Amino acid sequence: MTSISLPRKVFQGVAKRADMFRMFDRHAQRPNRFAGDQSDVYAGEWFEIDETSYSYMLDILPPLWMRGPIFAMREFMSGSVTSVFYAMRIDDTVRYFHTYCDLSDPNSVETMRSVIADRETRPVRAMSREERLEHIWSTTADDYRGYAGTRWPTPMQGHRTIMLYGGTEGTFLKLLDTLSDNEIAAKLPVHLRYLPSSLAA
């Protein structure tokens, strides 16, 4: 199934409105999408947005609540998980972020704020392997990403897949989590391929 981890950055750079809406449900194709509580699929995901998108989301509906520059959407994605938007001053610049917080945890909003602040104030620009994979997943069109079905061995079924181009082999599917370093580099835009990878997500 979709791998679940701690709070995770899922897109590098600043997402514009079209990208933001696309990433609101990066997992729309997953099997059994409406079966049971899907909160763990979303909780902890975050990415940066621009001020225009932040303002748009604030104006689109009255928020569930607003605490200074942080507000939550009243429409829940799944269970107790909803979108929370932050305006944060980082290195003397106000920046804007979207996260999915599980509001059943009273500490989730502050935890996410701390995670974002820590990640975005690191002095060296870097990406972990997990961040590289999440960026690839976020930026790949639906026609070229999916989930391992019944043709895959049982332990692999439900895991995320990505289409690769194998030269004379043509195109083939591979589990996202098993991409080699070279395959990851080939799927990333040039400006992200050669960033150091020593920092954890």
Query: What is the pLDDT at residue 123?
Result: 63
pLDDT recorded at residue 201: 41
Could you count the other beta carbons within 10 Å of the beta carbon of residue 200? 11
Separation of alpha carbons 105 and 50, rounded Å: 27
Q: Is the dihedral of CA 40, 43, 46, 50 positive or negative?
A: positive
Helices (H), the chain: 17-23, 39-42, 51-60, 108-120, 129-139, 181-187, 190-193
Contact assessment for residue 11 and residue 47, using Cβ atoms and an 8 Å cutoff: yes
Residue 121 CA to residue 15 CA, distance in Å, equals 19
Residue 3's pLDDT is 41
Domain ranges of the chain: 8-120, 129-193
Residues whose CB falls within 8 Å of the CB of residue 50, separated by 6 or more in sequence, listed in order: 14, 15, 16, 17, 96
The answer to whether 171 and 162 are in contact (CB under 8 A) is no
pLDDT at residue 107 in the model: 92
Q: For the chain, how long is the longest CA-to-CA vector?
A: 56
Express each pLDDT in 88-105 by its tens digit.
Answer: 999 889 999 999 999 999
Q: What tens-digit pLDDT sequence spans the chain (201 residues)?
A: 444 447 899 999 999 998 999 889 888 788 776 666 677 888 899 999 999 999 999 999 899 999 999 999 999 888 889 999 999 999 889 999 999 999 999 999 999 999 999 999 876 678 888 999 999 999 999 889 989 988 889 999 889 999 998 767 778 889 999 999 889 998 888 777 766 665 444
**pTM attached to this predicted model:** 0.85
Q: In what order do the strands lie in the sheet with 171-175?
A: 145-147, 160-165, 171-175
